Amino acid sequence: MCITDQVKSEVMLLSGQFMAQAEDRYNFWDEHIKYVVREALILAKKYDADAEIVELAATMHDVALIAKAGTRGDHHITGAEMAEAILQKYNYPQEKIEKVKKCVLNHRSGKNATDIEALCVADADILAHFDNVPMLLNRFFIGNDISNMTLPALRSKLKAFFDHDYNDLSERTRQEFGGRYALICRIVLGQ
């Protein structure tokens, strides 16, 4: 079994354990990670990045959240440490581990990317939100009381929420994704 398959199996197992304990039965793998991996590999090919590094980092970018290690605010830091430990178990080369760690550390915004692999993972994390709009809407509705909100106010708040993610993409990916984003806004927001 190749390293990417080994890591995928480990993260899927953690995701299953998380889901079994989660009140809402949230499945990190099916609702988020698989979309991030798919988008990251598309970007890696488009941007001529190291696909193996990108795939491993995309697979593990939220490993700390899945394992409930540390806090949400520092999950990128804890996740990088966990990614290193996981990869060391498989005797993955340390110089490649450092590249994966850098991607995990910088996955929270395409603007933080220090190299093309980190950019692919960070942007894929955001693009995955738009691949699974119900998950994005769920994230929005959990944080907002909409019971007394007018439809224009709801639309405005949703637009601001979507725009925040879109504007967090790197300039390069934002240009590539602009047409898809406009279509999503037209369909979901009626714009």
Show Cβ contacts of residue 149 under 8 Å, excluding neighbours closer than 6 positions: 157
DSSP string, 9-55: HHHHHHHHHHHHH-TT---HIIIIIHHHHHHHHHHHHHHT--HHHHH
- Using an 8 Å Cβ cutoff, are 99 and 149 in contact? no
pLDDT (tens digit per residue) in 141-150: 776 777 788 8
pLDDT (tens digit per residue) in 9-41: 999 999 989 888 887 788 889 889 999 999 999
Task: Determine the Cα–Cα distance for residues 111 and 151; give it in Å rounded to an integer.
Answer: 32
Decide: pTM greater than 0.75.
Answer: yes
Q: Which domains, ranges and CATH numbers included, belong to the chain?
A: 3-189 (1.10.3210.10)
What's the confidence (pLDDT) of residue 98? 96
What's the confidence (pLDDT) of residue 110? 67
For residue 60, pLDDT over 80 is answered with yes
Mean of pLDDT values over 60-73: 86
Mean pLDDT of the chain: 89
The label of the residue with tokens 């890696």 reads 44
For residue 140, pLDDT over 80 is answered with no
